[in-house]
Structures are given as structure tokens and as C-alpha cells.
Structure 1
Amino acid sequence: MTLDISIIPSANPKSDEQVAEILANPGFGTYFTDHMFTVEWTPEKGWHDARITAYGPLTLDPATAVLHYAQETFEGMKAYRHDDGSVWTFRPFENAERMKRSSHRLALPVLEPEDFVQAVEALVEVDQRWIAEAGSEKSLYIRPFMIATEAFLGVRPSQHVTFMVIASPAGAYFKGGIKPLTLWLTEEYTRAGRGGMGAAKTGGNYASSLVAQQEAIAQGCDQVVFLDVAEGKYVEELGGMNMYFVYADGHVVTPETGTILEGITRSAIIELTEKAGHKVEERKISIDEWREGVASGEITEVFACGTAAVVTPVGTLKWKGGEVQGSTETGPLTAQIRQSLVDLQYGRAADEFGWMHRVI
């Protein structure tokens, strides 16, 4: 750990009563902890002035580069309270390595994984009272992000960059609880092509998905499905989740990476599924294979995954002029994988993979 972090406690933290009230029903991404972490970078000084201060608004010059050229990356991860009161994160070095890859793609400086994890842990330790007690599936959602903060309108990599970490107590991602999603297939919009930013966790990818998500909601659906840009026939991912398809013979298929986000939960599920005795293929899967497979019964379960949503079953797929109805309940393998994952994250099962990282 190389960051020299100063800590300036908030002068106006939430009371214990206020925190308890929030933790009773935190929602997702609505409330934020008392503090935030910040460190800055310039070519001359490298990463410097690491600090934890009171959570609050940022002051940015109107010419700040990120506002004009979207040079930014971010991560999403969680901290979990175990029965003994300890606090753990899930595969934090994987998040750190992915941010390195994203930063390279966005021409941002690299924050070394050890420093990334140190920053996350420092904030979690300071704001640990915001993590709900064990016994539920509540957690502390952690959002590290890096933005170009030079005030300059030229089109080049920023010469001043700021990395921050904020945190938000989290309940269920979907308000309706765990039930099969209805998905909308967009045939007009795509998310990323070969050589693009699809594998980088950057805001532009999510911004480009929002108009298609609007389309999905207008059609009465929960999420949108994107196809590949080259041929418009292969399933890539949802607006914010990776996908899995379970076949009648027990094998599982997930779309290959390259133009999609290399999900931390996605790769964990591959290992959990293989450990459960199911062969997992990472390959192209066409939208026709999905539709025909569900209709014929060859595909028995479909589910999506991500840090926020964990594992969520998929029921119906809709598109202009048609739909195919999958299961109206959570499938057995979907339920098994989800339970295996959350049991590991909350310390109810042995961590055979070495994924959990103790913070407190």
C-alpha cells in the first residue's frame, strides 16, 4: 500500500438513528455514507493528496474535460457483513485489474491494484456503521471512479485526473424482488463494436444504452437486450448485466467477451457452475438460438447477473412483432447458483475460491 491517506472526519455525520432508519429500507443508489475518498494525479506528481473527507458536492470548472469528452471509468463492488461482525469485499483485486484495463482504453493513468484496494478499504473502515447487520442480503455498494479534471477544451488526454470512492447502502436492485424479468430486444440500437469500448467500464457505454432502455420500459419490459454491431444477430448483454442460458442437457452458454463487459460476477458464476457439475461454454449465441431454444424447450433457463442485481432469472423476451415466454419462476440451476454466490459473499459457505477479502 503506497497511498498516504489523511482522514478528516465529517463535522455533520448522520446520527445513529438516521443511519438505522436508512438501513431498514436502503433501496439502491439513493443514500450515501458520511465520507468519500479522493486522490489526484498529474504527470509531474503522479498520484497525490489522498484523503477521506465529508461526502459532498464537487466544484468543477465549466471547461473540465470529463464534461466534454467523457474521459472516465468506474467500478461497482460491495462490502458484506458476516455473522461475526466482520466486513468483507468480493474479489476487489479483480475490480482493480478491470479498472486498469478500462483506464488504458480511456487514456487515463493507472491506479495500481494495491492502491485501489487500499482506497476502498479505507473508506469502508471509516463508514463501516453504514453496513447492515448480518441476516439479510443488504450490503454496502461501493463506487470507485476516475474522471478527467483538467480545465481544458483541447481533445487530448487530461493532464489532471481525480480518482474517488463513494459508498451507498444497498437493498434489492429490483423493487419487485427476485422474479423473472421481461426483456426487450432492441433491433435499432447497439452498444459497442470491435475495437470500441464495450469491454471498458465507462459511462459512455451506459449512456448509449439508455435510449434503448427507455424503449424497453415503453414496451412494458424491465431491461433491454443488445445484439452485436457487425451482424445484428448475436446476443451480447443487457444494459447493465451479463447473460447465461441453461440447456436441457445441463450445459450452460454465456456470450463470449471482446465487445462486452468482463463481469466480475460473470466469471465467478462460470466457476460456480462448473463446480456444480455443468459444462460452461463461452461462445456466440444467436438471437434465433435463444428464441427457438426457449420455444422448443431446449433452453430451460435464462438468467442475468451483475454486482448490483447478483443473479436474476429471465422470463419473457419481447421484440417488435413477437415474444417468447420462458419460465414464470426462478429455474433450479439459477436458484442454486444464486444461493451459492450469496452464501459465499455473506460468509454462510466456505470460500473455496479465495474470493472474499477481509476489511474489518
Structure 2
Amino acid sequence: MENQQIQITHSQSRKAKPASDQLEFGRIFTDHMFMMDYSEEKGWYEPRIVPYQPITLDPAAMIFHYGQTVFEGLKAYRTKEDKVLLFRPEKNMERLNLSNERLCIPQIDEDFVLNALKQLVNLDKDWVPSAEGTSLYIRPFIISTEPYLGVAASKSYKLMIILSPVGSYYKEGIHPVKIFVEREFVRAVEGGTGKAKTAGNYAASLKAQEVSEKQGYSQVLWLDGIEKRYIEEVGSMNIFFKINGKVVTPELNGSILAGVTRDSVINLLKYWGVPVQERRISIDEIYDSFKNGELEEVFGTGTAAVISPVGELNWEGEKMVINNGKTGSLSQKIYDTLTSIQNGLEPDLFDWTVEVK
């Protein structure tokens, strides 16, 4: 695969670029996209960058019927020196293959696809916004395309990468959100697809999200699917708790997605000498630490927001207000440090950023 040349077809009609203050998440797309196909006979073949366009699929394409699909999400950032940086993109390629394995999708050549991603971003480099807090969101994804209604793994696939300029997640500055602890619905179970980044996990989360929003909460805190006692994720993010000076986060148990930002935060905390543990955490433990005055900070981590502080947890009617509903000093420090590294504003001591040339 590494010997294949990526064919490039330039768009003949370039789109107007929106103003930075008009950017919404995932509504606007750039001029080009990357595509590559898979068949049992050829393997992955015909890598190409083409003008952004609709795709045509057979109504019997297996993606529509059995949901065999995986995706990733990462960002490109424009620095003050007008460089374009990616943040740990090799981790996204690595995780894409882990998701592929779980969904019975053929493995990709991680280096080749990352190179294709860089070529695509470089071609549409003018779409990377420069205003503070903005970035170019990158969405690689794979869908099953074989026209067949039998329940089996598809024999053909399509890999695509699309790009979308996005605004600042926090338009009015970083602020804590209110979270509802979910007891009825579950996101995933050990042995299921929770550790894969696949569409079905997100479809399964929508009902709980809808219910929580009607009650005035921004997201739900997911508990395990067996005992409904142990904490897993918050919304579509990983979750951290600062308890009596120590930071704890749920260990990766097969039903929790291994977030790139999660891993970055753990590395930062260790570098700073902040005690951090990955282990099982029950909601009872969190409630007890709150009652004892030891629950100091709670925050989610993910690509979109980087850090999302939690100001309140509602567990069976018990409202736990954290840090007086304000962003904690550690949450703020992590957010400032990660975003500064991503935007080239401070030294990248971990060698996390990759320049697109």
C-alpha cells in the first residue's frame, strides 16, 4: 500500500470561507476530501483526494443495515507563525485500527493514511482558521459498502476523510457544566463495543442525553452496564475526579474509549508530580468524598472541548455542587497547557505536535 500514489483532483469551484465568529461545529466543510476503497481481491486501493461531494451507495449497502462503521476525530491548529499543527495524530490512526479490529473491518496502513490526511490538510490549508480557539476538525471514517442483507462482515469498504473548520468550544470562556448521573440507560458493557469508536455507541447514547437535557443538564455521567454503580464516561468524554489532592479516572476496562486527550492529561499530571490513578470508581465513593468535603474538582476530557469542568452532579436527586460551581485551578491549568501546546504557544516537551508541510 505504501507504494500507491495518491491521485489528486482539484476542485474547480472553491467555496466561500465563513468568518471565524460564524463557525459552528460540523456544519461547514472544505473544498476537498480523501477517499480509498477496499475489496477482498485488491485490499485497500485507489487512494485519492477529490472535490468534496456526495457519495452513491447501493440501498443494500451493509452500513445501512448492520452499522459496521468506525470513525476518528482530531484537529489541525494554525499557530501565530502561520504553521499548521496536528496533535498526536498517530494515536488516532492507532485507535482507528483498534476499532477496525472490533468491528471486523480490515486494518489500514496507519502511516499511509496519516500521510494522506496530511496531504489533504495541506491542500485545504487555507481553511484552517486563525482566530483564538478555532481549529480545523478532521473526521476520518470507514463504512461497509457491500450490497448484501446477510448478517456478516462486509467484503468491501470505503474510507473517507472530511474536514470542517470549527469555532471555539467555549465562546464565553471555559465554564463548568451540570451533569445528570444516568441510572436507567447504559452506554456500553464490557465485551461490547464501548472501547471502539463506532456509530452505534453514539446512537445508543441519544435517548439518555435527550432526557437529561429536558431536566436542565448538559450531559449524562454513564455508569457501568452490569451493576450501574461504577463510573465510565461523561457524555462522549472521559472523566477525571480530584479527590483530596489526588486525581482518579476510570481504568480502561473494555467498555471505555481510550481518549487521546485522556492519555495526554495523565501524562501531564505525572510530569507535574500530581498523584493520578486509573482504577474503578463507584458513584458511592464520589458521593462520600463530596459529603466529606474532599471532592475538589471534576472534569471531562475530549477532542472537542479539551477540558470540560463539571460544576454539578445530580445523582438520584442529590445535587453535588463542585468547587462552588466554578472551574478549578487544576482544570484551568490543564486546559491552558494543552491548548497552548496544540497552538504552538509553548514548548512541546512531549513531542506531541506534528507540523503539516
Question: What TM-score results when the alignment is normalised by the length of structure 1?
Answer: 0.95
1:102 aligns with 2:99: yes
How far apart are the structure 1 equivalents of 2:356 and 2:204?
35
How far apart are the structure 1 equivalents of 2:203 and 2:62?
17
Q: CA deviation at 1:176?
A: 5.7
How far apart are the structure 1 equivalents of 2:267 and 2:315?
32
1:66 aligns with 2:67: no
1:79 aligns with 2:37: no
1:336 aligns with 2:337: no
Q: What corresponds to 1:203 in structure 2? A: 199
Instruction: Answer whether contact 1:99 1:201 (CA < 8 A) is retained.
Output: yes
How far apart are the structure 1 equivalents of 2:144 and 2:215?
37
Q: What corresponds to 1:155 in structure 2? A: 151
Given the superposition, is the C-alpha separation of residues 342 and 3 from structure 1 closer, same or farther in structure 2, using an over 3 Å criterion? Answer: farther
SS at structure 1 position matched to 2:267: helix
Instruction: Answer whether contact 2:132 2:168 (CA < 8 A) is retained.
Output: no
The one of 27, 31, 34 aligned to 1:34 = 31
CA offset digits 1:140-178 (Å, max 9, x no partner): 000000010111111111111000000111113356642
How far apart are the structure 1 equivalents of 2:106 and 2:336?
38
Q: CA deviation at 1:322?
A: 2.7
Q: What corresponds to 2:179 in structure 1? A: 183
Q: What corresponds to 1:287 in structure 2? A: 283
Q: What corresponds to 2:252 in structure 1? A: 257
Aligned alpha-carbon RMSD (Å): 1.3
Question: What TM-score results when the alignment is normalised by the length of structure 2?
Answer: 0.96
Instruction: Answer whether contact 2:313 2:321 (CA < 8 A) is retained.
Output: yes
Aligned positions of 1:1-360 closer than 5 A: 1-14=2-15, 18-19=16-17, 21-133=18-130, 136-173=132-169, 177-248=173-244, 250-258=245-253, 259-327=255-323, 328-360=325-357
SS at structure 2 position matched to 1:172: coil
User: Which 10-residue stretch deviates more, 321-330 or 70-79?
Assistant: 321-330
CA offset digits 1:306-339 (Å, max 9, x no partner): 0011111101111443321112211000001111
How far apart are the structure 1 equivalents of 2:167 and 2:23?
6
Instruction: Answer whether contact 2:21 2:167 (CA < 8 A) is retained.
Output: no
**What number of residue pairs does the alignment pair up?**
354
Q: Which ranges of 4 or more aligned residues in structure 1 deviate by more than 4 Å?
A: 174-177
CA offset digits 1:226-281 (Å, max 9, x no partner): 10012110010022100000122x21001111210000000000001111220110
Q: CA deviation at 1:122?
A: 1.4
User: Which 10-residue stretch deviates more, 198-207 or 25-34?
Assistant: 25-34
Q: CA deviation at 1:2?
A: 4.0
How far apart are the structure 2 equivalents of 1:197 and 1:305?
20
One-letter identity of the residue aligned with 2:10: P
SS at structure 1 position matched to 2:226: coil
How far apart are the structure 2 equivalents of 1:240 and 1:2?
37
User: Which 10-residue stretch deviates more, 177-186 or 334-343?
Assistant: 177-186
How far apart are the structure 1 equivalents of 2:167 and 2:3?
33
Q: Which runs of 5+ in 1 are unaligned?
A: none
Q: Which runs of 5+ in 2 are unaligned?
A: none
One-letter identity of the residue aligned with 2:221: V
Percent of aligned pairs with the same residue? 44
Q: CA deviation at 1:52?
A: 1.0
How far apart are the structure 2 equivalents of 1:3 and 1:355?
28
SS at structure 2 position matched to 1:132: coil
Given the superposition, is the C-alpha separation of residues 325 and 121 from structure 1 closer, same or farther in structure 2, using an over 3 Å criterion? Answer: same
Given the superposition, is the C-alpha separation of residues 190 and 54 from structure 1 closer, same or farther in structure 2, using an over 3 Å criterion? Answer: same
SS at structure 2 position matched to 1:337: helix
Instruction: Answer whether contact 1:36 1:165 (CA < 8 A) is retained.
Output: yes
Instruction: Answer whether contact 1:2 1:115 (CA < 8 A) is retained.
Output: no
Instruction: Answer whether contact 1:183 1:318 (CA < 8 A) is retained.
Output: yes
